[in-house]
Chain A
């Protein structure tokens, strides 16, 4: 493990921002600290950087305990949320700042800065000031400045928060590629699950100062372990009366989470679903939302509101229309854990995941297809 946190605790007054935090990060990996605001993710990042000190516990980087080592000596590059570029310095001076502090000779500095300008595609902008740059360019300068002194660990605090939605998508890919190109172990903080899923190869989910789950994006998505992760990941709707749905019995659970991709809604005359129409239930559309590339239907099913996506290529539906609804699976949870429940009636018919796929229209490329 390249970076390790052992039993880290931290309080801000009465507020427990890090509660027995333990995790390890392998060299070369790109890790996301994902959680809602106030979950302690930024504090964890700042403790690794040395901008905050833990009340107890050990922070180990490259086999060395760094708790008492000054931030500047930890070999860390840090990209701040709003980039914190030095506004009275040019792009060149911003990138060169850390190198000058290392007392690097002037010609070496020039060489390194030019190399980074080329790497980040900022050639020709070196004489500009930060306020003369676009959001994306600023992020690239911040990245170049952070990696200029060749740190062994790169920390990024909400690296996309300050950028508008359109450019953000582009920059995610850029940053991911850039980090792999440079080959630097990186940890970034985000509250946006799409960002974490797309950019990171491991995700650490934080909530109320605790680590909820660590895993690859797919693992987190497919096998959420705690009630919090179940709810937090995906477009998840919590329902209490899950046992009122056809195919699910009441167990010793507090509630359940259904994601739109776990549900199929079809018109009763749809031939494709004739084999399963008898185990489906009738519901009524109460709301239709246009989501740009698909429709989002809310269907009232025995008093339980269910959300489902519908391709624009399929037949038109309207509010008040009766639909047949089939729920493949859901995540039930008690106080501590989450459990996958599959539709027992589908199971009886021996319709497993591969069979299911043929029932699906495979329409929404944005969501996982079971």
Chain B
């Protein structure tokens, strides 16, 4: 019995140790980001690396905010606007389509749904070149339109919303109809409000993806003032790829908005980001 107890204790110690080790591996780079964002470039690239911002200052941060005529603030605003308006559109458009697929009957419903689901398989790179040609023919290069609209065609969003809408009891929709609610009234006044928890999951997922997206902005934007945060930070790297204090500070600031949101709604974030894998 005693041996069993010792074994159990050793086991639980090892378990805690492994979990803690992974915590260190994940958290340490973040700590180093905070430290090095307060150091000057020489201190960052010299040996030994510093683990505490002694002699540091917030100069990098003020420099980031001042550089290229306030470009950083513009990138931040661009990111907020692009990710925000894209997310609003995705949630609205996908929930309308999801409602139609899940709760309404019409010819071709199954076929159309299957077509939408099937396109999820196609990797985004396959349509990248034609998409750029279409966007440039529309004259959208270097505009918000090109950053916001192509992403609204989210097959994943429609698929998720269809699954969510299926859970709404039919009786509720019928009751609304009997009470004299119009078709659109039923959707906007009854269905949308009760699916807010699920909508917020899709919104979190979509916003986080858009906030960090690099590939599409890289192709369709080259004006400094139209860049989003990831593209802007990527363009701060010089040819040698030297890490400067300003890049560190810029990365740090770009991460703060999502971090604050995450602190307030960590469970929602975890649920939202693993949405596709768990429900799909």
Q: Please determine whether chains A and B interact with each other in the same assembly.
A: no
Interface residues of B (CB under 8 A from A): none
